Amino acid sequence: MTTSSAPIELLRFATIGSVDDGKSTLIGRLLVDTRQLFDDQLDAVAAASAKRGVGDLDLSFVTDGLRAEREQGITIDVAYRYATTPTRKFVIADCPGHVQYTRNMATGASTADLALVVLDANEGLKEQTRRHLCIAALLGVRSIIVAANKMDIAEWDRAPFDKVVEQVNALSERLGFVDPVIIPVSALLGDNVVEPSAEANWYKGPTVLEALEAARAGSWSSSNSGARLPIQWVLRQHGGGRTYAGMVNGASFRVGDPVTLLPQGVTTTIRAIHGLHGQSGEASPGLSIDLDLSDDTDAGRGDMLASSPLPIVTRDIAATVCWFGEQPLAKGQRLRLKHTTRSTPVRVAAFDGILDIETLSVEPGDALGFNQIGLVHLETGDPLVVDDYRDNRVTGSFVLIDERNNATVAAGMVGHVDFL
Ligand SMILES: Nc1nc2c(ncn2[C@@H]2O[C@H](COP(=O)(O)OP(=O)(O)OP(=O)(O)O)[C@@H](O)[C@H]2O)c(=O)[nH]1
Ligand SMILES: [Mg+2]
């Protein structure tokens, strides 16, 4: 319990950066040094470390729990962890850095308020780190904290750190990250993670924990759109009539508000809102509710109830996609698109350009290779009700599915993003 009147804010963050640069070790260090782990959890990590012959305590084992991860010493799947300090609650997504698993990183970063970028200060900004930063920017992440890691190997020499600062600042300006905080750390030894380092007397900034506690929370769910209810279920009521169930996003719904059912384009008002705890006058983003409307409407799963400003209804989507399929994405290709509660066939109608992650320029091209980012036009079988991704991260995003094997092969954002 806190004694202050303000509620403790929740910050969702994801670790990003190239393989082996120390993301999991940093999270392990953060959790151990803020005493988030129980003795039996620490014992299990120590036992696994001894079994693999990796010293007393391999901190990366705190999040790398899969057998394949421990055997190969890499993260494969995103591991979610929770932490609480006297001023903050954290939901942590520890993502993999290996190029093969970039798709998992995109999943982990897609709900983050902030990215904790970990890079090896001795090696500088690598291509995979640039790729992760591009994807995080596309996914709407605006804040980053950069841990220039393995400073123990650099013997706390300031030169490699200064180089990282220069590289990160140049890229951040292009990608729209606001005031990145860049910190020299040793995740392995714990310098500047929770405890300030005695080694870097030239560094006067915050520790990683202090920077995380000071960061802006809640940006993931902030939006410029009106209220949205992608309909999940239609519930038939006793005595006729029906109500619509789903999860609210974008803004709040209030009883008496006008709402439009899309794609039908029918306008009515909200008669009642039923939540988990009974009836209420208002429903805010993130709540699962059941809406009762004043007029009889005929809607189904995949339709959307929306308040002004309204989303658009379209079958031609200009989008930015990160392609994770093993075979290239080509013009004319058919896939399935999943957007909120709707799923529809889709065809790649045109390529508008491919992002060069080295120069951040957009080059012409007619196919997207593994892990490439491109601008496309998609033609959908059914009309979709969408917002621009910059206005709403829920109704502005989608995934593409290869129907032959049901694999998710792309993450998509509605609109062509600013920096491209
Ligand atoms: N010397 C030194 N080694 C470190 C430091 N941080 C991490 N390491 C080592 O770097 C290796 C990789 O660490 P991980 O934490 O697994 O790296 P990762 O970024 O999570 O890797 P992926 O999740 O596979 O992308 C391990 O052997 C760590 O012990 C550090 O600050 N100093
Ligand atoms: Mg890892």
Burial per residue of 60-79, b for 16 or more beta-carbon CB atoms within 10 angstroms, e otherwise: bbbbbeeeebbeeebbebbb
End-to-end CA distance of the chain: 45
**Residue to probe by mutation, ligand 1, list 188, 189, 192, 199, most atoms within 8 Å of CB:** 188
Whose tokens are 């729990």? That residue is 65
The angle subtended at Cα 335 by Cα 375 and Cα 227, nearest 5°, is 70
Q: Around ion ligand 2, which residues have CB less than 5 A away?
A: 23-24, 75
Residue 26: which of 88, 97, 89 has the closest Cα? Answer: 97
- CA distance readout (Å), 167 to 121, 125, 164: 11, 7, 5
Q: Which ligand is nearest to the CA of 70?
A: 1
| Distance between Cα 302 and ligand 2 center (Å) | 36
* Distance of CA 15 from the midpoint of ligand 1 (Å): 12
Euclidean distance between CA atoms 129 and 142, whole angstroms = 16
Q: How far is the CA of 128 from the centre of ligand 1 (A)?
A: 15
C-alpha span between 145 and 182 (Å, rounded): 6
Q: Give nearest CA residue, ligand 1 atom 32.
A: 150
Q: Determine the Cα–Cα distance for residues 303 and 116; give it in Å rounded to an integer.
A: 36
Note whether 186 and 192 are within 8 A (CB): yes
Cα–Cα dist 359/42, whole Å = 44
Output the tens digit of pLDDT for each of the chain's 420 residues: 434 456 678 999 999 999 999 999 999 999 999 999 988 889 999 998 888 887 778 999 999 988 889 888 899 999 999 999 999 999 999 999 999 999 999 999 999 999 999 999 999 999 999 999 999 998 889 999 999 999 999 999 999 999 999 999 999 998 989 889 999 999 999 999 999 999 999 999 999 999 999 998 888 778 899 999 999 999 988 877 899 999 999 999 999 999 999 999 999 999 999 998 899 999 999 999 999 999 988 899 999 999 999 999 999 999 999 999 999 999 999 999 999 999 999 999 999 999 999 888 999 999 999 999 999 999 999 999 999 999 999 999 999 999 999 999 999 999 987 665
Ligand 1 site: residues with CB under 6 angstroms?
Answer: 19-25, 60, 73-75, 96-98, 118, 149-150, 152-153, 186-188
Probe residue for ligand 1, chosen from 19, 20, 57 as the CB with the greatest number of ligand atoms within 8 Å: 20
Residue 35 CB neighbour total at 10 angstroms? 10
Say what the pLDDT of residue 34 is: 96
21 CA: nearest ligand 1 atom: 19
Q: How far, in Å, are 28, 69, 72, 74, 77 from residue 66 at the CA level? A: 15, 5, 10, 10, 8
Q: Which two tokens stand for residue 114?
A: 């902030």
Atom index in ligand 1 nearest the CA of residue 149 equals 31
Q: Which ligand is nearest to the CA of 186?
A: 1
Which protein residue's CA is at the shortest distance from atom 7 of ligand 1?
A: 22
Tokens at 362, concatenated: 């957009």
Distance 56 CA to ligand 2 centre (A): 18
Within 10 angstroms of residue 182's Cβ, the number of other Cβ atoms is 24
Backbone φ and ψ of 64, nearest 5°: -80, 85
Residue 178: the pLDDT is 87
| pLDDT tens per residue across span 325-341 | 999 999 999 999 999 99
Q: Which atom of ligand 1 is nearest to the CA of 69?
A: 24
Closest-lying ligand to the alpha carbon of 63?
A: 2
- The pLDDT of residue 420 is 55
Helix or strand (DSSP H, E) at 93: strand 88-94
| CA 393 to ligand 2 center in whole angstroms | 26
Residue 129 CA to ligand 2 centre (angstroms): 14
Could you tell me the maximum CA-CA distance found in the chain, to the nearest angstrom? 76
User: Which ligand is in closest contact with the Cα of 58?
Assistant: 1
- Per residue in 112-147, pLDDT (tens digit) is 999 999 999 999 999 999 999 999 998 889 999 999
d(CA 161, CA 119): 11
Q: Residue 44 Cα, ligand 1 centroid: separation in angstroms?
A: 19
- Main-chain phi, psi angles of 313, to 5 degrees: -110, 125
- DSSP secondary structure string, 130-161? HHHHHHHHHTT--EEEEEEE-TTTTTT-HHHH
Which of 25, 63, 126, 153 to mutate to test ligand 1, by most ligand atoms within 8 A of the CB atom?
A: 25
| Rounded-to-integer distance, Cα 150 and Cα 142, Å | 25
User: Nearest bound ligand to CA 117?
Assistant: 1
Tokens representing 245?
Answer: 């169930």
258 C-alpha to ligand 1 centroid (Å): 53
Q: Are 225 and 250 in contact (CB under 8 A)?
A: yes
Nearest atom, ligand 1, residue 28 CA = 15
Q: What is the rounded distance in angstroms from the CA atom of residue 322 to the CA atom of residue 1? A: 42
- 119 near 19, Cβ under 8 Å? no
Atom of ligand 1 minimally distant from the CA of 74: 24
pLDDT at residue number 419: 60
Q: Compute, in angstroms, the gap from residue 206 CA to the centroid of ligand 2.
A: 23
Distance from the CA of 400 to the center of ligand 2, in angstroms?
Answer: 26
pLDDT of residue 1: 40
